[in-house]
Amino acid sequence: MDFLTPFQIALTLLANGDPELMSIIGLSLTVSMTAVATSLLIGLPLGAILAAYRFPGRTPLIVISNTFLGMPPVVIGLLIYLLISRAGPFGFLGILYTPAAMMIAQTVLVLPISIALSRQAFEALNGEYAPLFHSLGLGRLTRIRALVFEARATLLTIALVCFGRAISEVGAVMIVGGNIRHSTRVMTTSIALATSMGELAFAMALGIVLLLVALVVNIASQILRNSLRNFGHDV
């Protein structure tokens, strides 16, 4: 395989707007971005609570959450599979081999990241703002809302880390999605399939496309971060 061939294939695929490729990119982005949004929605308030309050069971919760940071995607895929397969407790939902199952698997995968990183960010901010919040007599909800707002630039970085982890994983979505053409095939499972079929140049080209997609997302977030930097964020 010529070193430049994958680049040529990648450019051709993108230039031609190959419908199948576009639908795969679209599904990859939809699944990963939904998973990231869901994990942030759950993880950020949890991170803020863990950072701002001391309560019984807090330390075990942190340890469990941190343990999940090292969980292999394939194990998470297997866990979700067992839960949503026909014989599993949530089998009645009938979501196995659907994008919904892939979103759930990726949410579980990135949730510990959003909790751990947001807790760290909120702990630093809470240390800084606690005297002011206390002085102003703010209630719990107002404090958490204010912390989330003040941490908005850092949260953008956390979202990017989560997105990077979600869009690049293959094990979990392969197990619960099944890599079904026109249905649950995403960039990473396409790359795995092309590699297994010996289409190495095509697989590499898909990898380049995946990187380009990640590049576009990062450029957009950098533009947003530059605008936030003006508001005193260390980004």
Partner 1 sequence: MTSDRQTSEMILSARDICLSRDGNRLLDSVSLDIRRGRITFLLGYNGAGKTLLLSCLHGLLELESGSVDAPPRDRQKMVFQKPIIMRRTAAGHLRFVCPGVAETELADWMKRAGIQDRTSAPARALSGGEQQKLALIGALATKPDILFLDEPTAHLDFAATKFVEDMIREAHATGTTIVMTTHNRSQAERLGQDVLFLDDGRLVEAAPAATFFKAPGHALTRQYLEHL
Tell the smallest beta-carbon distance from residue 37 to partner 1 (Å).
Answer: 23
Tell the smallest beta-carbon distance from residue 128 to partner 1 (Å).
Answer: 7
Among 17, 137, 139, 198, binds partner 1 (CB under 8 A): 137
131 counts as binding partner 1 under rule CB under 8 A: yes
Among 134, 181, 183, 219, binds partner 1 (CB under 8 A): 134
Applying the rule CB under 8 A, the residues between 22 and 61 that interact with partner 1 are none
CB atoms within 10 A of CB 6: 20
Greatest CA span in the chain, whole angstroms? 67
Interatomic CA distance for residues 107 and 151, integer angstroms: 21
* CA distances (Å), origin 171, targets 17, 80, 81, 113: 27, 12, 12, 18
139 counts as binding partner 1 under rule CB under 8 A: no
Interatomic CA distance for residues 54 and 46, integer angstroms: 13
Rg (CA), the chain: 20
Stretch that binds partner 1, among 149-157, 182-190, 209-217, 218-226 (CB under 8 A): 149-157
Residue with tokens 């807090």: 58
The H-or-E segment that residue 69 falls in is none
Pick 106 or 154: Cβ nearer partner 1: 154
136 counts as binding partner 1 under rule CB under 8 A: yes
Residues at the site binding partner 1, with contacts judged by CB under 8 A: 128-129, 131-132, 134-137, 146, 150, 152-153, 230-233
